[in-house]
With several copies, the nearest count.
Chain A
Amino acid sequence: MNRSSQLKLKDINLSVGGFSLVNVNLEIQGGEYFVLLGPTGAGKTVLLEAIAGIKPVTSGTIWLGAEDVTDRPPEARGVGFVYQDFALFPHLSVEKNISFGLLNRSTKAEPRQLARVERSGRTSSQNVRARVEQISSLFRISHLLDRKPEGLSGGEKQRVAMARALITDPQILLLDEPLSTLDPEIRELIQVELRRIHQELGTTTLHITHNFEVAAALADRIGVVMEGKIVQVGPPQEIFRQPVNESLARFVGVRNIFRGHHTIDREGGGHLQLDGLRLASISNLEGAARASIRPEDILLSRKSLVSSARNNFQGRVIQISDRGSFCYVTVRVTIPEQGGRSLDLIALVTQSSVQELGLELDQEIYAAFKASALHVF
Chain B
Amino acid sequence: MTTKRSFTPIFWFLALLLVIFVSYPIVLTLTGSPLRVLGDTLLDSEVLGSILFTFSSSLIATVIGLATGIPLAYILARHDFPGKSLIEGLIDLPIVIPHSAAGIALLLALGRNSILGRGFGLLGIRFVSSAPGVVAAMLFVSVPFLVDTAREGFEAVDSHLENVARTLGSSQWRVFWKVSFPLARRSILSGLILMWSRGISEFGAVVILTYHPMIAPVLLYERFQSYGLDYALPVAGIVILISMLIFLVLRALNSVREGS
A81 within 8 A of B: yes
Identify the stretch in A82-90, A139-147, A243-251, A317-325 within 8 Å (CB) of chain B at 4 or more residues: A82-90
Q: Is the contact region of chain B dominated by helix, strand, or loop, or is it mixed?
A: helix
Q: Which listed residue, A49, A74, A106, A113, touches B174 by the CB 8 Å rule?
A: A106
How many A-B contacts are there with CB distance less than 8 Å? 78
Please state if A168 and B169 are interface contacts (CB–CB under 8 Å).
yes
B225 interface contact, C-beta 8 A: no
A101 contacts partner chain B, Cβ-Cβ < 8 Å: yes
Provide a sorted-by-A list of 30 A–B residue pairs whose CB atoms are within 8 angstroms. A49-B163, A52-B167, A53-B167, A73-B171, A74-B163, A75-B167, A75-B168, A75-B171, A81-B163, A83-B164, A87-B160, A87-B163, A90-B183, A91-B183, A100-B178, A101-B169, A104-B168, A104-B178, A105-B168, A105-B169, A105-B170, A106-B3, A106-B169, A106-B171, A107-B3, A109-B3, A109-B169, A113-B169, A165-B164, A165-B168
Minimum CB–CB distance from B187 to chain A (whole Å) comes to: 14
Q: How far is the CA of A101 from the CA of B175 in the complex (A)?
A: 11
B167 contacts which of A54, A91, A113 (Cβ < 8 Å)?
A54
Within 8 A of A (CB), among B156-170: 158, 160-161, 163-170
Question: In the complex, A336→B121 CA distance in Å?
Answer: 100
- Rounded to whole angstroms, the CA-CA distance of A108 and B174 in the bound complex is 13
| Contact (Cβ within 8 A) B164 A168 | no
CB closest chain-A residue, reference B158: A87
Contacts of A332 in B (CB 8 A): none
Q: Are B170 and A81 in contact (CB under 8 A)?
A: no
Residue of B nearest to A55 (CB): B163
Question: Considering only CB atoms, which chain A residue lies closest to B174 in the complex?
Answer: A104
B39 lies within 8 A of chain A by Cβ = no
A75–B164 contact, CB under 8 A? no
- State whether the Cβ of A80 lies closer than 8 Å to any Cβ in chain B: yes
* Those of B161-213 within 8 Å (CB) of chain A: 161, 163-171, 173-174, 178-179, 182-183
The CA-CA distance from A78 to B111 in the complex, in Å, is 55
**Interface 0/1 of A340-369, CB less than 8 Å to B:** 000000000000000000000000000000
Asked whether any CB of chain B lies closer than 8 Å to the CB of A294, the reply is: no
The smallest beta-carbon distance between A76 and chain B, in angstroms, is 8
Q: Contact between A85 and B160 (Cβ–Cβ < 8 Å)? A: yes
* Contact of A104 with B169 in the complex, beta carbons under 8 Å: yes
With known contacts A89-B179, A106-B3, A77–B161 Cβ distance under 8 A: no
Which of B3, B160, B164, B182 is in CB contact (< 8 Å) with A108?
A: B3
Interface flag for A222 (CB, 8 Å): no
In Å, the complex CA distance between A79 and B166 comes to: 10
| Given A87-B161, A89-B179, A164:B168 Cβ within 8 A | yes
A228-267 interface bits toward B, Cβ cutoff 8 Å, 1 = contact, 0 = none: 0000000000000000000000000000000000000000
Contacting residues, chain B, for A54 (C-beta < 8 A) = 163, 166-167
A75-B171, A89-B165, A106-B169 known; 11 new pairs, CB 8 Å cut-off, are: A52-B163, A53-B167, A77-B167, A87-B164, A89-B161, A100-B168, A104-B174, A105-B168, A105-B170, A106-B171, A109-B171
Bound complex: CA A111 to CA B170 (Å):
13
Chain A CB within 10 Å, residue with most, of B158, B163, B168, B174 = B168
Q: Most chain-A Cβ atoms within 10 A of its Cβ — which of B3, B163, B169?
A: B169
- B222-238 toward A: CB 8 Å interface, digit per residue (1/0)? 00000000000000000
Q: Which chain B residue shows the least CB distance to A80?
A: B167
Residues in B whose Cβ lies below 8 Å from that of A80: 167
Q: Does A110 contact B (CB under 8 A)?
A: yes
Return the CB mask of A309-347 against B: 1 if under 8 Å, else 0.
000000000000000000000000000000000000000
Q: Which listed residue (A75, A113, A168) contacts B166, Cβ 8 A?
A: A75
A12 to B178: give the CA distance in the assembly, Å.
33
Are A85 and B168 in contact (CB-based, < 8 A)? no
Complex contacts, B183 vs chain A, CB 8 Å: 90-91
Task: Please name all residues of chain B whose beta carbon is closer than 8 Å to the beta carbon of A170 when the two chains form the complex.
Answer: 167
Measured CA separation A53–B169 after assembly (Å): 12
| Contact call A104/B165, Cβ cutoff below 8 A | yes
Q: In whole angstroms, how far apart are the Cα atoms of A53 and B167 in the complex? A: 8
**Residues from chain A with Cβ under 8 Å of B171 in the complex:** 73, 75, 106, 109
Partner of A100, one of B3, B160, B163, B165: B165
**What's the Cα separation between A53 and B179 when bound, in Å?**
19
Closest-CB distance, A295 to chain B (whole angstroms)? 38
**Cα of A164 to Cα of B169 in the assembled complex, Å:** 12
On whether the beta carbons of A73 and B166 are closer than 8 Å, the reply is yes
Shortest CB distance B5–A (Å):
12
Docked complex Cα distance between A54 and B166 (Å): 8
* Shortest beta-carbon distance from B124 to chain A in Å: 40
User: How distant is A81 from chain B, measured CB to nearest CB, in Å?
Assistant: 4
Cβ-defined contact, A106 with B160, below 8 A: no
